[in-house]
Structure 1
Amino acid sequence: MGLFTPSAPLAERVRPRSLEEVVGQEHLTGPGKPFRRMLEIGRLHSMILWGPPGVGKTTLARVLAQGVRAEFIPLSAVAAGVKEVREAVARAEAAARVGRRTVLFLDEVHRFNKAQQDALLPHVESGLLTLIGATTENPSFEVNPALRSRARVYVLKPLEKADLLRVLQRALEHPEGLPGVAAEAAALDLIAAGAMGDARRALAALELAAELGEGRVTVAAAREALGAGGSRMDKGGEAFYDLTSALHKAIRGSHVDAALYYLARLVEGGADPMYVARRLVRIAAEDVGLADPNALRLAIAAKEAYAFLGSPEGELALAEVAVYLALAPKSNSVYVAWKRARDAVQAHPHAEVPLHLRNAPTGLLKALGYGEGYAYYHDDPEGSFAQAYLPEALEGASFFEPRGEGWEARLRERFAALKKRFAEAKRGREG
């Protein structure tokens, strides 16, 4: 037992006990958000929490159960089976007889086979058990449809560096954490970056660094605590997010060698290759865009190839697509257009759809003019160009501006010709 290590790990000792103490996941825990509303009305439904390790799945399950004063039964699908499920059902029946609800928390729910998952179904269906499953795998593939249909899926996000810094600071101040331990700001910054969105990893590194530094968390102790992967990730002071940013910007700037270097730094430093793969998909959509529509298909294919092959073989697929993206022509026209369109929605959230574009499934709606005068392009191309498509408040708005690189140069010609036809048709309509 180390100098600063009581019987329970630091992550367990400082685990949040209320929603107010939870860091991150504001899209679920903030005012008016799903988990906050559940606690306000005192009712839970069965759910699956999907997200990477160390982002609060177990903590949120405990907080939600405690918030509605339910019996909490934690099981791990790695060790539990049908026998343990039956025992949990018996406990839930006993709790129900005295008016208490039961939350069954099943960690790594994707590890349950179909028969084990089916054993849960009648009890989830009846409401005897409120199931909260936790998984790092996509529930669409790893949880059988019957169980998935009875549980809402909530996606948890990796914690941001700022979130992890708050977690670390809280651990230093918590009476059951590391009170009295001093920590250098640079060391905390290093741990937050090296933990790669995982609070449990950050807290384990903090606790070990406190032991290695004999009561003081230094940069050297933090590097050693993060381990070989963390040390390589942070060699020279660059943090995980700095390397990710450098990879993105090297590809955007069409620098193939830099792209390969930063990709290798991330993979060798212990970054989750699937995180890197998702970043490459984003680059294909955001920075290459319609200049080369094939880039997005290849990025998705590389992600799937890595998921299929794993390391080290699958890393070659990521390197291949990084080179392809760096060499590809670049256009962010869709990225810019999408932002403009969303800004327009913010400015005109209730702009009325023109009557002729509306659906008219009933006689009443037809009588109100819905769909009246709509020109079907294949029957009346000129009439189709002459009619208005945007709400009146946005008439004349322009969001998409194609650039001249790669395949998008052809789109620019087509788009210009279409705009000309719309303008001519509008003049004819007004004349």
Structure 2
Amino acid sequence: MASPRIKFPHVKRYKLFIFWATLILAFTEIHQFGPRYLLECWILPNLFFDTNIMAQSSLKQYLRSLRWTPLPVGVGLALIAFQQYRHTRKREAARLGQADPCDCLADEWEVQAYKLLPLRQFSKAWGWVNGLELPEWSRKSVLGLYVRTFGCDMAEAEVEDLGKYKCLSELFRRSLKDGVRPIDPSAAVVSPADGKVMSFGMVNCGALDQVKGVSYSLRKFLGPNCWNAGGPMVVTKRDDDDCFHRTCLKDGENNALYQCVVYLSPGDYHRFHSCADWKVDFRRHFPGELLSVNPSIAAWVRNLFVLNERASYVGQWKYGFFSMTAVGATNVGSIQVYFDEELKTNDVIRNKSVFHDKHFDDRLVELSRGRAFGEFNLGSTIVLVFEAPKGTVPCVEVGQRVRMGQALFRIPHSYVGMTLDETVHQGTQR
């Protein structure tokens, strides 16, 4: 079922034209260097004309006399390096508390320019390369280079011998030995994957934390509310995030919304699992972009998770609303969910501004903590948004490394499956 288009802020086209024209022209001529040439090419465009033609009345002849001089490649590289240096300085100042994190965010025209890159095509090409079968004699050296580069722990893999993996994609999606990821029996919500916690905590006024100091809209992230009692979409004020926030709560008096973002790096275990005991009602697929979700990019691009392709699975658990969203990224256009074979990601045919819903009314999808949910092709992000009693205790910190099955949140007076002598718990777990 297709739903209304998602509208994004208008960006002046001339800024994008200037940006990309500068970069394209910067790389068109490499053979011309020298002080005089550099001085002549600092201004874009550099127009040369004959003063005698200016005196002529023929505008046509005057226009024909104009010629464009491209910037040298050095100037283009210097421009890119300067932009990167400026953003690095801002991020460092924000980390030290000397600047507001919002000051480090990219301008709209920069984000639009970033989106113009052929990231979807590049991701498809990368997926094709990953699926190429390697000659048996080269597997240990090629795959071993990847393992050493990203620090993969092959001792935990069900198949430790690199020679048994036919391609890089099989290594990404490797399974683990039984028992190496025990599920915390006391936590109502456990980590769905190995990775790093980018943000966590209570959702306030319909805003989710992308990283510390940078937030995005829950309403834009999940789309229109159609999960209340399985009814039609709840229409709220277009810009009222707080109103949308309240429609997600089953018990607004005693409960609150909580969220947690887990980032999977290229070296992590690439499968993800159910983080709680819950029932999935429907899936909402947003085609979107495939921008990088690396923490440094997440701290630079506003509304990154709203822009990117994602598959949101929404349902109910003991305390009310529950959702788990797999976010795509550069080189991670392929998101596979084991119980949803119809999900097709990184599909250029689909309109990126329209989301698509699928309801699971015909069959029951009940998930328990730790049950296999799906897999990424390289590494990406899982976003959890759920309803729980007020006073729910987080068990992690921002920047902490977690493993699948480790406790994320504990609910007061709820010990899930523990005995009475095991009901005393500490705070953060390492």
User: TM-score per shorter chain, which class?
Assistant: under 0.3
Name the structure with the higher strand share: 2
Q: When the two structures are superposed, what TM-score results if normalisation uses the length of structure 1?
A: 0.26
Name the structure with the higher helix share: 1
Structure number with larger C-alpha Rg:
1
Task: Point out which structure has higher relative CO (alpha carbons under 8 A, 6+ apart).
Answer: 2
